[in-house]
Amino acid sequence: MSATTIITTDAVKDVKGDARIGPRAHLRHTGALIRRNLLWIRQDPESMFDAILMPIVFTLLFVYVFGGSIGQALGGGQDDYVQYVVPGMMAMMGMSMAMSVGTGFNTDFNSGVMDRFRSLPIGRGSVLFAKIAVELLRMLLATTIMLIVGVLVGFDITNWGGLLAAVALAALFGSALMWVFLTLGVVLKSAQSVQGLGFLVLMPLQFGSSIFAPTDSMPGWLQSFTDVNPLSSLADAARGLMVGGPVTHDLWVTVAWSVGLTAVMAPIAIHKFRTKT
């Protein structure tokens, strides 16, 4: 057995636990994997269609199909609805990008890419952190496109500091959701299963919230659900930051959900990734 083979074998044994790899090595591994994922996107630009087209389609759809009627319910018209729905749709961007990271992760497993990564002397957590970092970049791109389209249809940005804070809050919550979908991507057998389960979760959370319409006219049982729905808190906090209104309560509720989901799901996702056979 050659010296190179011995060194490689020993290196693989030494990284069975992430605790044996220092923080600087973790960062180096994560950076290399982020670069790998970005190069893959460059080779497969069609993978960006959802991040580019979805914010355009949904913004135009809700503004021009529902803007008049819901705007009247808000006491104005379509212009008032634009100010209402654009901040709320930041929550939708995070949910949609979170689901895509789960399906992509599952596809990598089924294609054998993750088996290759797990055979390398790298930190296991760095693979997942790199995935989340790239998806956050895709989410920021989708949010930027949505805001540009929103401005074109009448959204008025008056508080740039509040806008940046709302984007950061949406990214924080979106990254927490990504840990949930990464776990699903590991434990479920196919990308179709991840996508199907994701839609079953996404649809009630998105439409049973204050993202697209006020909750005052909803039935009492549905209002009770929207009151505890974290997407309602995120949407309301984004509105308060961007167009004015109460912020503190919804802001801290969103942060609490984000920290709680990450604290619970990140260790589970990393453990499932290490032990998946």
Residue holding tokens 């979908």?
A: 181
Find the domain containing 17 and state its range: 3-275
Closest among 141, 157, 30 to 93, alpha carbons compared: 141
Contacts of 75 (CB under 8 A, 6+ apart): none
- For residues 98 and 129, the answer to whether their CB atoms sit within 8 Å is no
Return the structure tokens found at 277: 């056979």
For residue 7, the model assigns a pLDDT of 29
Q: How many domains does the chain contain in total?
A: 1
pLDDT digits over 215-237, tens only? 888 898 999 999 999 999 999 99
CA distance 183 to 225: 25
Least confident segment among 86-100, 149-163, 168-182:
86-100
Closest among 11, 199, 27, 230 to 100, alpha carbons compared: 199
State the average pLDDT for the chain: 84
CA distance 54 to 102: 18
For residue 148, the model assigns a pLDDT of 95
Tell me the average pLDDT across 188-214.
87
* Secondary structure letter of residue 44 according to DSSP: -
pLDDT band at 133 (very low <50, low <70, confident <90, very high): very high
pLDDT band at 160 (very low <50, low <70, confident <90, very high): very high
Residue 137: how many other CB atoms lie within 10 Å:
17
Task: State yes or no: pLDDT of 19 exceeds 80.
Answer: no
Cα dist from 200 to 17, 35, 64, 73, 194, whole Å: 35, 33, 26, 29, 10
For residue 141, the model assigns a pLDDT of 93
